[in-house]
Amino acid sequence: MPSTAQPAALSGRRLPNLWDFVALCCVVGALVAVAAAFRGTLVPLDALESTPIDLDPGRLPEYALRTTLRMFAALVASILFTLTYAPLAAKSRRAGQIMVPVLDILQSVPILGFLSFTVAFFMNLFPGRVLGLELAAIFAIFTSQAWNMAFSFYQSLTTIPADLDEATRLYRLTTWQRFWRLEVPFAMPGLVWNTMLSMSAGWFFVVASEAITLGDNTWKLPGIGSYVAAALEKQDITAVFWAIGAMLLVILAYDQLLFRPLVAWSARFRFETTASATAEDPWMLALLRRTTLLRLAGDAIERAFGAFTGLRLGRPAATVSRRRAASRLNDAVFAVLVAAAVGAALWQVVDYVAGALTWADLRETLFLGSLTLLRVVVLIVLASLLWVPVGVWLGLRPAWARRVQPLAQFLAAFPANLLFPPFVVLIVRFHLNADVFLTPLMVLGTQWYILFNVIAGAAAFPGDLREAADNFRVGGWLWWRRVMLPGILPYYVTGALTASGGSWNAAIVAEVASWGNTRLEAHGLGAYIAQATDAGDFHRIVLGVVTMSLYVVVFNRLLWRPLYAYASRRTNLG
């Protein structure tokens, strides 16, 4: 019952307890480790080349820490981006007209393909320093998270309940106060959830972006991704397994220490009018809430944060003013400016690509793209055939669902590219067809989205409808067709959409694989981009990435969006 928490929090027990000691050690230890890792980023580039990645498992904790910190830096950057970009897009009608579609496209573009550009860019910013490479890696992770998070925040901003909006305006909260008292809290649950999902993509990218090849140069930033890359070169399968183990521990720690507490904490921001059953606090949150020192520190931070966010910056929002005729002129000016910018950008791209490429290249990428599309479709269908029944079975059994659900989310978060090497070894050993057998790698990491969404859907299936189906003895295929499949359709579509998007991205790493000197290549757009990157052929990279984005966007618009709209329309009562 909610009221029991109250007296406990107010009790006067302020003496440090055992947990305080534990917590203190953790905090100091973490600070020292971060400081040590940070020093490594300031060394010159030569130092990096003179200290190659050591395959000794004893070095793995250090590498894991470096990888984790990169993740963290990217997360901070993504949050800052989200908190600025989304409000701009939501507040200004004109800015929104451009910024929202841009975000939508950026979500679909396989950024992995652009890695070589960003590396070149950041290397020029900090010539001769490791920092440039670090930033490039962080930027790659950032690109895998930021769009998704910004989109979630934007959607929350546009769905703020009218009465709360009116209340903030009537009580004349300034824009700053409104942002922290209404907009951010309202968006919080969605934001936390999306951040968690984005982290999954982030792990994938951090592993891919640590070992960077640009033309003839290859750099390996200290980290788990580089460790695996080095192991592949040396054909050391034991080291690969060590790395997988380390990654498991890192993700487990992230999940337990950061995200479980965050998700539980964000539940208080859920916009609901009735008190729902609250799950027990995850142990980390309990630790934070029950440790005297930490709680005092937390209270102080909360107080300071409250004062900071309560500052009367900006002005109270004015009335809703009708659009005036004058703004039509501004609209026209704005439209002309946008048209000019688009024209210039198009000309740039065409000019750049046309300089070195011909129509034949375009035809080739389109053909390769359709091969990759075929792979994605076949894999999603196969994964669905497998995981939908399993997910439904699990979802209808709450005891199982509770246990499997975190596991499925965990598997989705695990960077699948770390799991590639064992498969590659098998393919090489048995001389299997690369075109066929490299394909499953694309869904290795993304199939779990289908599973855990279907589990969630089946678990949320109304009990009375199941009873009704049982009562009328609806069974067999009829039960699937009329009862269960329509019931989980919105969840399934969400999962399949995420899975297919992830598979496109994975294609760039999955269609090409190497083991020592053996190189496996499947025919597809992903392999095309990967080859162009290795060769440092920027023209082909641009063409490949643009074509892939085109496929993804068209696929989303023609299939997933209408399907999702249909699913949510048909399965809502009223």
Partner 1 sequence: MDATVSVPLLQVRGCRQAYHKDSSADLVVLDDVNMTLQTGEIVSLLGRSGSGKSTLLRIVSGLLTPTAGEVTWRGEKLRGPAAGVAMVFQSFALFPWLTVQENVEIGLEAQGVPRAEREQRAEEAIDLIGLGGYESAYPKELSGGMRQRVGLARALVVHPDLLLMDEPFSALDVLTAETLRTDLIDLWMEGRLPIKSILMVTHNIEEAVLLCDRILVFASNPGRVAQEIRVPFPHPRNRLDPAFRQLVDDIYAVMTRRTPTQAPAPVAPADAPFATNLHHVSTNLLAGLMEALAGPPYEGRADLPALAGSLQLEADELLPLGETLQLLRFAELEEGDIRLTETGRQFANADTDDRKKLFGAALLAHVKLAAAIRRTLDERWNHRASAVRFRDELEDHMSPDYAEETLRAIIAWGRYAELFSFDEEAQQFSLEDIETAA
Q: Which residues bind partner 1 (CB under 8 A)?
A: 2-3, 6, 161, 163-164, 166-167, 169-174, 177, 181-182, 185, 188, 268-275, 307, 310, 312, 316, 318-322, 569-570
User: Is the CB of 124 or the CB of 274 nearer to partner 1?
Assistant: 274
CA dihedral for 458, 464, 470, 475, sign (positive or negative): negative
Which residue lies nearer to partner 1 by CB, 11 or 50?
11
DSSP annotation of 511: S
Pick from 445, 441, 430, 436: nearest CA to 518: 430
482 or 570, CB closer to partner 1? 570
In terms of DSSP bridges, do strands 217-220 and 512-515 run parallel, antiparallel, or are they unpaired? unpaired
For 19, how many CA atoms within 13 A lie in the half-sphere containing its CB? Answer: 15
Residue 183 main-chain phi, psi, to 5 deg: -70, -50
- 348, 417, 504, 542 from 351: Cα distances, Å: 5, 35, 27, 12
Residues 45/128, Cβ–Cβ less than 8 Å: yes
Minimum Å gap between C-beta 323 and partner 1 is 9
Q: How far is the CB of 324 from partner 1 (least distance, A)?
A: 11
Which amino acid appears at position 159 of this protein? T
Are 364 and 523 spatial neighbours (Cβ–Cβ below 8 Å)? no
Closer CB to partner 1, residue 31 or residue 304? 304
Cβ of 63: how many Cβ atoms within 10 Å?
23
Farthest CA pair distance, the chain: 77
| Complex with partner 1: residue 303 or 402, whichever CB lies closer | 303
Q: Which is nearer to partner 1, 37 or 285 (by Cβ)? A: 285
**Residue (169 or 466) nearer to partner 1, CB:** 169
Do the Cβ atoms of 243 and 224 come closer than 8 Å? yes
We find the least distance from the C-beta atom of residue 332 to partner 1, in angstroms, to be: 17
Considering the complex, what minimum distance in angstroms separates the CB of residue 169 from partner 1? 6
Q: Which is nearer to partner 1, 2 or 127 (CB)?
A: 2
Distance between CA 174 and CA 188 in Å, rounded?
20
In angstroms, what CA-CA distances link 497 with 392, 448, 513, 561, 563? 18, 12, 26, 9, 10
- Give the pairing type, strands 211-214 and 512-515: unpaired
The answer to whether 338 touches 98, Cβ cutoff 8 Å, is yes
Q: Least CB distance from residue 286 to partner 1, whole Å? A: 19
CB of 463 to partner 1, least distance (A): 23
Least separation in angstroms between residue 35's CB and partner 1 is 35
State in Å, rounded, how far the first CA of the chain is from the last one: 33
In the bound state with partner 1, the residue whose beta carbon lies nearer, of 268 and 363, is: 268
Stated as kind and residue range, the H or E segment containing 521 is strand 518-521
Residue 543 CA to residue 416 CA, distance in Å, equals 26
C-beta of 323 vs 431, nearer to partner 1? 323
Nearer to partner 1, 185 or 440 (CB): 185
* Shortest distance in whole angstroms from residue 270 CB to partner 1: 7
User: Which tokens is 34 given?
Assistant: 């971060």
Closest separation between CB of residue 269 and partner 1, Å? Answer: 5
Min CB(91)–partner 1 separation in Å: 17
User: Quick check: 154 and 100 in contact, CB under 8 A?
Assistant: yes
Report the nearest approach of partner 1 to the CB of residue 275 (Å): 5
Helical spans, DSSP H, in 398-462: 398-413, 420-430, 434-437, 441-444, 447-459
How many CB atoms lie under 10 A from the CB of residue 394? 24
